[in-house]
Amino acid sequence: AAPHAHGAHAAGPLAGAALAHLPSLTDAWLLVTDGRIAAFGQGHPHGPQGGLVATPQGASPLPAVYRQLDASGALVLPSWCDSHTHLVFAGYREGEFVDKIRGLTYAEIAARGGGILRSARLLNETPEDVLYVNAWARLHECMQQGTGAIEIKSGYGLSVEGELKMLRVIRRLKENAPIPVRATFLGAHALPDAYKDDREGYINLIIEKMLPQIAAEGLADYIDVFCEEGFFTQEETERIGRAGETYGLKAKLHANQLHRSGGVQAGVALKALSVDHLETMGQEEIDCLKGSNTIATLLPGAAFFLRMGYPPARAMVDAGLPLALASDYNPGSCPSGNMNLVVSLACIQMRLLPEEAINAATLNGAYAMGLGEEVGSITEGKRANLLFMRPVPSLAYLPYAFGTNCIDRVMVNGEFLLY
Ligand code: NIG
Ligand code: FE
């Protein structure tokens, strides 16, 4: 076995030069008990060097009965931690995909009532059970592709009932999925048709009707706003974020996707856990993030799908920022939850080193959804959510061989997923 282990690491996301540091062991063993990583080391657990230390009574700390698995030749990684998805939705939008091939822009499609508003209409017509079954299938597909923890947003309801319905679906996923699921309330994803001439009315609906009910039912862990021209301004974002804060919801924002919209500044002012997208960044935004604890989360799958420029990832790492990578899985701007591809895109298009991209898609992703102590690295006590890769020549081969499935088996809570 060749577990790829994060040994001792500082508590908190990896930033700057530390992002390129991915400790590994060759010829290694790993002990899982009760679904968690109990110990790991080099050689053999009973071996003289680096083996499990016997108790003073001489008893082995290995369980009396255990299953042994030979993973010779495999590369073992912590599972992907996908900290930004919208995987509860009611229909695909491949028609818009073709419209874009013909030349329409994302903004033009949105202005015609396509985009997010189309998804909202469909979602409001779709029963909760149907949403749940379809989201469950997508979640399972993500798990087969190696995702071992995930954040899911609402934001296709845009009505009190619709947003609550989405969040209840996410709660059911949370209760039934074997991997950790985090829920984010994104009522401020777009101005719904019913409020197109009444921004203030919709923002008040979010703050006065949606938030109290969501908090009363404990339906969300975080709050998100699409801070963007034509969507929500910096001031509105801060106002909605502060309202979320009063209910204990930390912000995770959609910031600077299409324009330098003030999203980064709003996120820093709100002490957001993360600001996500960041395709359009200036030095001012990088400097603003420098003095904060906010994680910069990049979603290269969306930039790829929308044929946009990518975020200046190198400049951000070189400025010492903590970067996370996530999929943005959604029907409009990234209809894929494949984190293997996200890691490849990060290396190919944003020049992250393979080690940087893997850290950003595992440990830093875990921190970007408040799960940094639970998943994201091979560390004693964390969940045994692990990827057993096919024999590959090196770590760099994974992002290099883009589109190739290098995953042999996926472990969740110490058990292999059945296909
Ligand atoms: O993260 N940018 C805002 N929201 C999504 C897209 C949602 C949609 O087009 O349905 C995103 O890219
Ligand atoms: Fe998104």
| DSSP letter string, 342-381 | HHHHHHHHH---HHHHHHHHTHHHHHTTT-TTTSSS--TT
Q: What is the pLDDT of residue 10?
A: 60
Question: Is 243 among the domain residues?
Answer: yes
CATH label of the domain that carries residue 278: 3.20.20.140
Question: Is 317 among the domain residues?
Answer: yes
Q: What is the pLDDT of residue 4?
A: 45
Question: Is 155 among the domain residues?
Answer: yes
Residue-wise pLDDT for 218-270, tens only, equals: 999 999 999 999 999 999 999 999 999 999 999 999 999 999 999 999 999 99
Question: Is 139 among the domain residues?
Answer: yes
- Asked if residue 75 has its Cβ within 6 Å of ligand 1, the reply is no
- Asked if residue 305 has its Cβ within 6 Å of ligand 1, the reply is no
Query: Which residue has the CA at smallest separation from atom 5 of ligand 1?
Result: 333
CB-based contacts of 157, cutoff 8 Å, min separation 6 = 120, 123, 124, 163, 164, 165, 166, 187
Query: With 90 as the cut, is the pLDDT of residue 136 above it?
Result: yes
Prediction ipTM score: 0.96
Residue-wise pLDDT for 44-66, tens only, equals: 777 665 567 666 666 666 777 88
CA–CA separation, 197 and 412 (whole Å): 48
Q: Which residues are annotated as a binding site?
A: 84, 86, 93, 156, 189, 254, 257, 328, 330, 332-333
Domain of 330, in residue numbers: 80-367
Tokens of 169: 């679906």
Q: What is the pLDDT of residue 65?
A: 81
Q: Which amino acid is at 221?
A: D
Residue-wise pLDDT for 173-182, tens only, equals: 999 999 999 9
Q: What is the pLDDT of residue 2?
A: 40
Q: What is the pLDDT of residue 162?
A: 98
Residue-wise pLDDT for 269-294, tens only, equals: 999 999 999 999 999 999 999 989 99
Question: Is 252 among the domain residues?
Answer: yes
Average pLDDT, the chain: 94
Phi first, then psi, for residue 187 (nearest 5°) are -60, -30
Residue-wise pLDDT for 337-353, tens only, equals: 999 999 999 999 999 99
Residue-wise pLDDT for 376-417, tens only, equals: 999 999 999 999 999 999 999 999 999 999 999 999 999 999
Q: What is the pLDDT of residue 217?
A: 98
Domain count, the chain: 1
Question: Is 274 among the domain residues?
Answer: yes
Q: What is the pLDDT of residue 59?
A: 64
HSE-up of 375 (CA within 13 Å, CB side)? 35
Question: Is 316 among the domain residues?
Answer: yes
3-state secondary structure 229-263: CCCECHHHHHHHHHHHHHCCCEEEEEECCCCCCCH
Q: Give the percent of the chain with pLDDT over 70.
A: 94
Q: What is the pLDDT of residue 1?
A: 39
If one counts every other C-beta atom within 10 angstroms of the C-beta of residue 2, the result is 17
**b/e per residue 277-314 (b: at least 16 CB within 10 A):** bbbbbeeebbebbeebebbbbbbbbbbbbbebebbbbe
Tokens of 96: 């818009």
Q: What is the pLDDT of residue 51?
A: 67
Query: With 70 as the cut, is the pLDDT of residue 130 above it?
Result: yes
Question: Is 402 among the domain residues?
Answer: no
Mean pLDDT confidence for 128-144: 98
Q: Is 65 helix (H, G, I), strand (E, B) or coil?
A: coil
Query: Which residue has the CA at smallest separation from atom 12 of ligand 1?
Result: 333
Ligand 1 centroid distance, CA of 330 (Å): 7
Residue-wise pLDDT for 293-333, tens only, equals: 999 999 999 999 999 999 999 999 999 999 999 999 999 99
Helices (H), 21-159: 94-101, 106-111, 115-125, 128-144
Q: Which ligand 1 atom is the nearest neighbour of the CA of 257? A: 2
pTM for the whole structure: 0.95
Residue-wise pLDDT for 151-199, tens only, equals: 999 999 999 999 999 999 999 999 999 999 999 999 999 999 999 999 9
Residue-wise pLDDT for 91-117, tens only, equals: 999 999 999 999 998 778 877 778 999
Query: With 80 as the cut, is the pLDDT of residue 3 above it?
Result: no
Query: With 90 as the cut, is the pLDDT of residue 139 above it?
Result: yes
Q: Is 157 helix (H, G, I), strand (E, B) or coil?
A: coil
Task: Check residues 63 and 71 and name the one with the higher pLDDT.
Answer: 71
Ligand 2 centroid distance, CA of 39 (Å): 36
Ligand 1 centroid distance, CA of 254 (Å): 9
